Chains A and B, each alone.
Chain A
Amino acid sequence: MKVLVAVKRVIDYNVKIRVKADHSDVDLTNVKMAMNPFCEIAVEEAVRLKEKGIASEIVAVTVGPKAAQEQLRTALALGADRAIHVATDERVESLAVAKLLKRVADEEQPQLVILGKQAIDTDNNQTGQMLAALTGWGQGTFASKVDVKDGTVDVTREIDGGLQTVALKLPAVVTTDLRLNEPRYAKLPDIMKAKKKPLDTKTPEELGVDIASKVTQLQVETPAERKGGIKVGSVDELVDKLKNEAKVIS
């Protein structure tokens, strides 16, 4: 079966972000960018499905500026067979990304779409669920285990109290949680080979999707700083401070 994997280019998770002086957004000039960590897990899962002989072809897709092709090349180096870049320099919100992915899914007819559970920039946690709604497919969000069967997929999900397993009719949408797998690193020969793999570019217009959003980001602020704390010298002093100064224990 064919697997479609969506990946996103985001700020590297180790970077300490800065808000722009005019408070319009976070400053992304000259910061290190990378594939969203949850998307790496999605790619890894697709590659493992191929290694098990379950997936026959893996198509990686991204929505974003030209530079996002780097992340597609990474996905290709990790084992994706070909890539689709939906090119736009606009800010694209989750609903529009889901609509674009729906169009790609219409064309590609995958049996399984794997996405990360959330991107670490917007922290939305929406796109996979929205894609499932638009395609009319079942959704297995926050997956920690994916077990493809004949015509269905069992997805074990990380929920607040523990784990829940659901069976979804294929085709279906799965979003990855951290414990699904440990992503591999791309090897140098694979990185070289990835440069020769097919990468198609499309535009939102070609796909017939209006990406204008009804949500406007009015302002971005740095959160209130916590006041500098103190170091205490002993357990006695700590207990005394908590009782008499902070008054959080009695």
Chain B
Amino acid sequence: MSILVIAEHHNGQLAESTAHVVAAAQAIGGDIEILVAGESVAGVAESAAKLTGVSKVRVADDGVYAHQLAEPTAELIAGLADDYSHVLAAASTQGKNVMPRVAALKDVAALSEVIGVESPDTFLRPIYAGNAIATVQSSDALKVITVRTTAFDAVDATGSAEVESVNATVENTLSQFVSEELASSDRPELGSARVVVSGGRGMGNGENFKLLDGIADKLGAAIGASRAAVDAGFVPNDMQVGQTGKIVAPELYIAVGISGAIQHLAGMKDAKVIVAINKDEEAPIFQVADYGLVGDLFEVLPELESKL
């Protein structure tokens, strides 16, 4: 049994998520190889080769894979897939974009957001916004899977896999990259941060999100937001935590001015410790919070910052 892990990378850097996907591959068991597809990705391949448990890194370095558009990337992966029993990628926007396309090209089902491995053909995945966990078994010869990275601990970087290039030519006449607009941030990445501080509609406006900065700095935290805060235009949408945003499972999640709607809880209820700060003591967030503080966030936040 051989498993192909699709590396995620941005700006020539291997994404942290890949080490989590390799851990999921180890839970399935078998020979693990990584595919790095992109343009000028030698450095990414080098980092991928160090991940523990990986036997080989295959590199498809070509302009057609720049920005990893779904059409050429899926065609490349589908072309290589016959050598493997499983193809895995992170359940990031990149993985979710490409992997179902791969599955359909191979005429097999795709399994999304896998959070547990029972056996090489049986997996756990959340449904209904995480309010139920389904155990699903696939009898397809090829399993195409996206992995919820927060459900698997990252592997270390103690390996030294061989790196070889893939000689496959793919053409793309369907899509073209036009532009990209990335939010700049010096803070840890939301998906992998150890601590997340999130604000909701209760923050009142975008300016008030600055109240979270000092606390985030002291705790080395990423800053998130509820959908209400995003929809109100307080912060950009890539900060959204929830069913339709990012799924996080940090050690500490601090929810400030967030009521705790089902769709928000779906994104953070697997945090180890949840703290809720809200002036409404009936807010549903208190039902999942380990520590709740009923109070006005405009008084509580400065005090909290000074006492950390």
Contact surface of A with B, Cβ cutoff 8 Å? 11, 13-14, 16-17, 19, 26, 93-95, 98, 117, 120-134, 136-139, 141-142, 144, 154, 157-169, 172, 177-179, 213-223, 226-232, 234-236, 238-239, 241-242, 246, 248-249
Do residues B288 and A164 form an inter-chain contact, with CB atoms below 8 A? no
A144 to B275, CA, bound (A): 32
Flag whether B204 is at the interface (Cβ < 8 A). no
CB pairs A–B below 8 angstroms (30 shown): A16-B262, A121-B128, A123-B112, A124-B112, A126-B100, A132-B101, A133-B74, A133-B103, A133-B104, A138-B174, A139-B175, A160-B94, A160-B238, A161-B182, A162-B182, A162-B238, A164-B67, A164-B177, A164-B180, A166-B176, A168-B176, A216-B138, A220-B133, A229-B286, A231-B293, A235-B300, A236-B307, A238-B304, A241-B291, A248-B195
Chain B residues with CB under 8 Å of A228's CB are 287
Who on chain A is nearest to B300 by CB?
A235
Flag whether B186 is at the interface (Cβ < 8 A). no
Contact of B178 among A17, A139, A154 (CB under 8 A): A154
Who on chain A is nearest to B102 by CB?
A133
Chain A interface mostly:
mixed
Contact of B307 among A11, A127, A231, A239 (CB under 8 A): A239
Contact of B10 among A122, A126, A161, A235 (CB under 8 A): A161
Chain B residues with CB under 8 Å of A241's CB are 291
Give the distance to chain A from B77, nearest Cβ to Cβ, in Å: 11
Give the distance to chain A from B204, nearest Cβ to Cβ, in Å: 20
Chain B interface mostly:
mixed
A229 to B253, CA, bound (A): 14
Known contacts A94-B100, A226-B288, A238-B275; A166 and B69 CB within 8 A of each other: yes
Do residues A248 and B126 form an inter-chain contact, with CB atoms below 8 A? no
Interface members, chain B 224-259 (any A CB < 8 Å): 227, 230-231, 236-238, 243-244, 246, 251-252
**Contact mask for chain B residues 176-204; partner A; CB cutoff 8 A; 1 contact, 0 none:** 11111111000000010001000000000
Give the distance to chain A from B115, nearest Cβ to Cβ, in Å: 10
Chain B residues with CB under 8 Å of A144's CB are 237
Do residues A231 and B104 form an inter-chain contact, with CB atoms below 8 A? no
Do residues B97 and A232 form an inter-chain contact, with CB atoms below 8 A? no
Among B174, B177, B179, B275, max chain A CB count under 10 A is at B174
Chain B residues with CB under 8 Å of A163's CB are 180-182
Chain A residues with CB under 8 Å of B244's CB are 117, 177-178
Chain A residues with CB under 8 Å of B262's CB are 13-14, 16
Give the distance to chain A from B236, nearest Cβ to Cβ, in Å: 7
Flag whether B1 is at the interface (Cβ < 8 A). no
A126 to B180, CA, bound (A): 23
Who on chain A is nearest to B175 by CB?
A138
Flag whether B110 is at the interface (Cβ < 8 A). yes
Chain B residues with CB under 8 Å of A159's CB are 93-94, 238
Do residues A162 and B178 form an inter-chain contact, with CB atoms below 8 A? no
Contact of B128 among A17, A142, A161, A167 (CB under 8 A): A17
Known contacts A166-B176, A238-B304; A229 and B289 CB within 8 A of each other: yes
Among B100, B107, B173, max chain A CB count under 10 A is at B100
Who on chain A is nearest to B276 by CB?
A229
Chain B residues with CB under 8 Å of A132's CB are 70, 101
Known contacts A178-B227, A215-B111, A216-B139; A248 and B180 CB within 8 A of each other: no
Which one of B19-27, B53-61, B151-159, B266-274 is at the A interface?
B266-274
A213 to B103, CA, bound (A): 13
A205 to B148, CA, bound (A): 36
A246 to B1, CA, bound (A): 42
A120 to B130, CA, bound (A): 10
Among B93, B102, B281, B286, max chain A CB count under 10 A is at B93
Do residues A232 and B181 form an inter-chain contact, with CB atoms below 8 A? no
Do residues B139 and A248 form an inter-chain contact, with CB atoms below 8 A? no
Who on chain A is nearest to B122 by CB?
A218
Chain A residues with CB under 8 Å of B178's CB are 154, 165-167
Given contacts A231-B293, A246-B290, A249-B219, 12 further A-B contacts (CB under 8 A): A94-B100, A123-B112, A124-B110, A130-B103, A133-B101, A136-B174, A160-B238, A161-B10, A214-B138, A216-B138, A231-B286, A238-B304
A221 to B137, CA, bound (A): 15
Do residues A230 and B292 form an inter-chain contact, with CB atoms below 8 A? yes
Chain B residues with CB under 8 Å of A133's CB are 74, 100-105
